Amino acid sequence: MVMTVIACAPTGPQRHEDGGGPIAWTGAPSSFTVGIDLSAYPQGTDFSFGAMVLCRSEEGVATIMAVRPTEEIGQGARYLGALVRDVDDPEDMPVISSAGFPPEGTNHIAWQPAEDSDVEVACGSGRGVELLIGFQNVGGLGGGWTGVDLHYRVDAEEYIFEIENLMVLCPEHQGCSSYIEDLSG
């Protein structure tokens, strides 16, 4: 009796950073830190974090499946969801951070849920798809995400784009400089 055993490694989404997969950033920098000092806002205020304009570095269409934290930090930032919008004009500045989710003063923009949205725009075209993350201030305690894991698919292949973007609500009693330094140290 002859028995053949074939071992296959489990397959899963392919993880990549900027420039390593079908979706990329439209411009530099490909990682950054943004903090909002909660001492200036009442508890329960919603906030938006953006400046993540995505494009396709390869042919085809990428469909966003989920937006998750690389790592959650603190207990004072409740995730509200992720939105996208088309950026058709190179002069159209993305949201970096703002009160409100979606941001105040953007009622004229057609924001839509990120999940099931497509990224079709080729890199280098001056256009893209802006990704926006929403948090709510819970108790003034501070918190947020160390980055974004953007789960998407192209045809039958699944990917996770690891976006290095520290987004934090800084505790009322500490301030952003000290809070971010503590996170980095």
- Cβ 99 vs Cβ 46: under 8 Å: yes
Question: Which residue has 């497509």 as its token pair?
Answer: 118
Check residue 109 and give left, alpha or beta (phi > 0: left; psi -120 to 50: alpha). Answer: beta
Average pLDDT over the chain reads 88
Instruction: Give the model's confidence band at 100: pLDDT under 50 very low, under 70 low, under 90 confident, else very high.
Output: very high
Residue 89 pLDDT > 70: yes
Q: Count CA atoms closer than 13 A to 97's CA, side-chain side.
A: 18
**Is the Cβ–Cβ distance between 53 and 87 less than 8 Å?**
yes
The mean pLDDT of 54-66, rounded to a whole number, is 93
pLDDT band for position 182 (cuts 50, 70, 90): confident
What's the Cα-to-Cα distance from 123 to each of 23, 90, 97, 153, rounded to whole Å? 9, 12, 23, 17
pLDDT tens, residue by residue, 1-16: 565 655 555 578 999 9
Count Cβ atoms below 10 Å from residue 161 Cβ, excluding itself. 27
Gap between the Cα atoms of 24 and 16, Å rounded: 10
Q: Where are the domains of the chain?
A: 14-184
Residue 108's H or E segment, with its range, is: none
Statement: residue 151 has pLDDT above 70: yes
179 — pLDDT class (breaks 50, 70, 90)? confident
Nearest residue to 140 via CA among 69, 81, 75:
75
Percent of the chain with pLDDT over 90: 59
Residues forming a β-bridge with 132: 83
Instruction: Please give the pLDDT value at position 7.
Output: 53
Q: Mean pLDDT throughout 67-84?
A: 96
